[in-house]
Structure 1
Amino acid sequence: MRDWLKAFRPASFRGVPFFVEAEEAEGGRRVAISPIAYSDLHVTEDMGGDVRRFSLSAYVAGDVADAAARNFTAALNAPGTATLILPMGGPVLVRVPRWSQSRERARAGYVGFEVEFVAAGLPSLPFAAVPGAFAIAGKIAAGVDMIASAAAFRMRDVAPGQAAPSALAAASAAVAMASVADAAEMPAETRPIIADQIATITRLLSEPVTQAGPIAAAIVSTVGAIADAASPTEATEAFAVAAAPSGTDVFAMVSAAAFAAGFCQALAAGDYISRQDARRARDRIAPVVDPVLEALSTGLDVAVSEWLSDIAATAASDLSAVAANRAPLVSVQTEISLPATALAFALYGDAGRAGELVQRNSVATPAAMPISFEAIAP
């Protein structure tokens, strides 16, 4: 018989521990219902997943319950998203819209809380990105539970004494996430969030078999959070390096798949001025994603491969659409070397675009452009 007291995970929020009396979760699909006039039929349309909500009856208890309550209250009041570890559900990135606290004289040393959490969703930054990046962000988030289940299934028969390589692979994934976050110029306000999620992965490494699902979920959600907030140009390069498959261990494959998905999101979020720029970005997808798909074909569930393939196809389709709507690059020839400002005004009627010409052609001296250079067609 299963020992349920050992089956549940220690609950925490922002790393602050607490106890759970009751745990509730709700979700679903947003279904639009359209009645058909003069008919017994109607039309239903799936409008996407509804907001996932979690309600907890929580408490802290003991001789230092007053201090523990203050720590938990501070964690609940802190701004931004953070990792919530649920006893049954595992880690999830959330926000706290509401909480309440209660204390009774007859229960000294016990402080109760009623807390509402909502899944963190996307930060504000992706709304400024191209639609493809926004769609990919949603697909990454939607794949977290599926990948967690696939990882847990693969690890089910691994003996605890043989799990050291898996723990090492997960630790390597955490190190890679920290490196990518540093290289991708993460905003200062999001760095503590990423650090908190990486710390969650590190805490779970002591039990890589029983915590396989939560570890995999944390890897994917953390990479998604980095892709959401990072600078696209720097993130693209960092994700491309981190996505290279490093072995056939479960967590190595989860890490490679997550980084490849993040690469696709960062690539789609880039700003491509010319048709050729967008096409070159599209051509980068296969060299990064294909080796990961090949590694996944002998490892995780086929659903993970389908998930990554769908993300890559979305990025390729979006970049193709961007290319179709951008002006092409042309080669410009001049008789003599001219200043970039004069050339920008002659081409576009806007001397302010001189920097664009200088950057595209890697010119060291803007006052003396080469007599042959590339430019966006006027």
Structure 2
Amino acid sequence: MSEWRDRKQGASFRGVPFLVDTDSVPVGRRTQLHEFPQRDQPFVEDLGRRTRHYKFTGFVAGDDCLAQRDRLLTALDKPGSGELVHPWFGRLTVTAGECEVSHARNELGLVRFSLEFIDGMLAFPVQSPNTRRQLAGQAPSLLASIKGRFNAAMAPIDLARQRATALRSALSGALGYALNFLQPASSLGTNLNGLVASLMNGPGAFADSLLAGITGLSRAFGGYGSSSAFQGSSAKATEVAALSATAPATEDVEVATIQAAVIALVQDAALLDLLLDMAEVPVAIRPGVSAPAALDVQLAQQGPTVVAGTAVETAVPVAEDVLVVRDAISEALWSVAGESPPEHFGTLSEARLAVDRHLTEVARSGVGLRSYAPAETVSALVLAHALYGDALRSGEIVERNRVRHPGFVPATDLQVAKA
């Protein structure tokens, strides 16, 4: 079969098809001719490539030609650029120019168009806030506010009068949570008796020890996959908010005050840890799928078989997953802030707004989900290539739907990325 038949595509703009009679495209260079007296040769100044105006004489036809016309008019009237499928140049991003529509009495069932599309648009840089850096900038003020709150709460307490056994009983829940959740972020030891002794000897040093390891911990983003620390952040945030409800009742006023102060300190430390983790989450840069790798390269890069219980880290976040993490952390910050003094309430509120802004940007840079059911059992590699034009994205389908073997994706409703 000839090449022009292989390459010819049906014309459309913003997904609305139309038929083409003829088309024309100006090509070449823009030039300025300079002619000089007593010179036989002119000087031709090159001003760059000519702007390509894709001009069509086209039509829509059929019993529903007026409905087709209205859809094409709607697509042409939308502001901004859109995708043009040119019969011979393929997919292009263009802006609709001066177009005309005409009807003729002797051509019932047919509407003609004179179409013009302009290729390219000069993009000017637009400032946008670095939400990741803004979030990281909340850590120093939050750290100072946490220490100030704890020291102020512990200042009127005479720890010398307190019995170690009473403190151990009152603080076991909060400190046990600190050991399980904050290790290895915390530099405190793992012995509860030692922690109680450290608190009785110096509350300020105790708070410094708890917080120093968190701020000094080396952090690295581990991906958006279900097995990553990012996905586990929502569960951690839920535990932080529920920690104050696990405090045992006590009739000793000073012990109750110490207990509340330590629980608040542990909650604040956990929130600071989550804030620093979220400050490592990047706004994703989504790779285009218009030019996927060659099939032999995709096959060579295809990873090993994914078995049950394992997961492949995804490079692009799923918007719904990011919003779940955002809402959980925001709720935990709000819950702790509601039980805080006014100064600390303001600091936590600013941190909550910074987390919301950053994770909203991360979600906006990700992809949404949609339901899709294959007609029959198929390989994940084949399904990914059919959906996205890129077989390398088969790991997303396997991980999202917990497929036991990537060679056999069942013909049931699956959750797949929209793009």
> Over residues 246-282 of structure 1, what are the superposed CA-to-partner deviations in whole Å (9 max), with x where a residue is unaligned?
3452111111122123234435645752222222222
Amino acid at match of 2:368: P
User: Could you tell me which residue of structure 2 aligns to residue 340 of structure 1?
Assistant: 380
Please tell me whether Structure 1 or Structure 2 has the larger radius of gyration of its CA atoms: 2
Share of identical aligned residues, percent? 21
User: Could you tell me which residue of structure 2 aligns to residue 41 of structure 1?
Assistant: none
Checking the alignment, whether the CA contact within 8 Å between 1:245 and 1:292 is kept in structure 2 is no
* Distance change (3 Å), C-alpha of 1:279 and 1:150: closer
> Over residues 84-118 of structure 1, what are the superposed CA-to-partner deviations in whole Å (9 max), with x where a residue is unaligned?
xxxxxxxxxxxxxxxxxxxxxxxxxxxxxxxxxxx
User: Could you tell me which residue of structure 2 aligns to residue 208 of structure 1?
Assistant: 199
Checking the alignment, whether the CA contact within 8 Å between 2:384 and 2:397 is kept in structure 1 is yes
Q: CA deviation at 1:234?
A: 6.6
Q: Secondary structure at the match of 1:215?
A: helix
Q: How many residues align?
A: 235
Q: CA deviation at 1:316?
A: 0.9
Q: Secondary structure at the match of 1:331?
A: strand
User: Could you tell me which residue of structure 1 aligns to residue 61 of structure 2?
Assistant: none
User: Could you tell me which residue of structure 1 aligns to residue 211 of structure 2?
Assistant: 220
Checking the alignment, whether the CA contact within 8 Å between 1:361 and 1:374 is kept in structure 2 is yes
Question: TM-score with structure 2 length normalisation?
Answer: 0.47
Checking the alignment, whether the CA contact within 8 Å between 2:333 and 2:352 is kept in structure 1 is yes
Q: CA deviation at 1:156?
A: 1.7
* Distance change (3 Å), C-alpha of 1:134 and 1:239: farther
Amino acid at match of 1:373: L
Trace 1:215-364 onto structure 2 (pairs within 5 A): 215-225=206-216, 228=219, 232-233=229-230, 236=233, 239-240=236-237, 242-243=239-240, 244-246=242-244, 247=247, 249-267=260-278, 269-270=280-281, 273-294=317-338, 296-297=339-340, 301-364=341-404
Q: CA deviation at 1:216?
A: 2.1
Task: For 2:162 and 2:327, locate their aligned partners in 1 and report how far apart those are by CA, in whole Å.
Answer: 40
Question: TM-score with structure 1 length normalisation?
Answer: 0.52
Task: For 1:133 and 1:170, locate their aligned partners in 2 and report how far apart those are by CA, in whole Å.
Answer: 35
Q: CA deviation at 1:151?
A: 1.6
Gaps of 5+ in 1: 1-130, 183-190
Name the one with the larger helix percent: 1
* Distance change (3 Å), C-alpha of 1:224 and 1:145: same
Trace 1:1-378 onto structure 2 (pairs within 5 A): 132=131, 135-160=134-159, 161-162=161-162, 164=164, 173=174, 175-180=176-181, 194=185, 196-198=187-189, 205-206=196-197, 208=199, 211-225=202-216, 228=219, 232-233=229-230, 236=233, 239-240=236-237, 242-243=239-240, 244-246=242-244, 247=247, 249-267=260-278, 269-270=280-281, 273-294=317-338, 296-297=339-340, 301-371=341-411, 372-378=413-419
Q: CA deviation at 1:302?
A: 2.5
* RMSD, aligned CA: 3.6
* Distance change (3 Å), C-alpha of 1:258 and 1:280: same
> Over residues 301-357 of structure 1, what are the superposed CA-to-partner deviations in whole Å (9 max), with x where a residue is unaligned?
322222222222211111111222323222223322211110111122221211111
* Distance change (3 Å), C-alpha of 1:355 and 1:138: same
Task: For 1:166 and 1:146, locate their aligned partners in 2 and report how far apart those are by CA, in whole Å.
Answer: 25
Bigger mean CA offset, 136-145 vs 312-321: 136-145
Bigger mean CA offset, 359-368 vs 269-278: 269-278
Q: Secondary structure at the match of 1:313?
A: helix
Task: For 2:271 and 2:263, locate their aligned partners in 1 and report how far apart those are by CA, in whole Å.
Answer: 12
Gaps of 5+ in 2: 1-129, 223-228, 248-258, 282-314
Amino acid at match of 2:219: D
* Distance change (3 Å), C-alpha of 1:200 and 1:140: farther
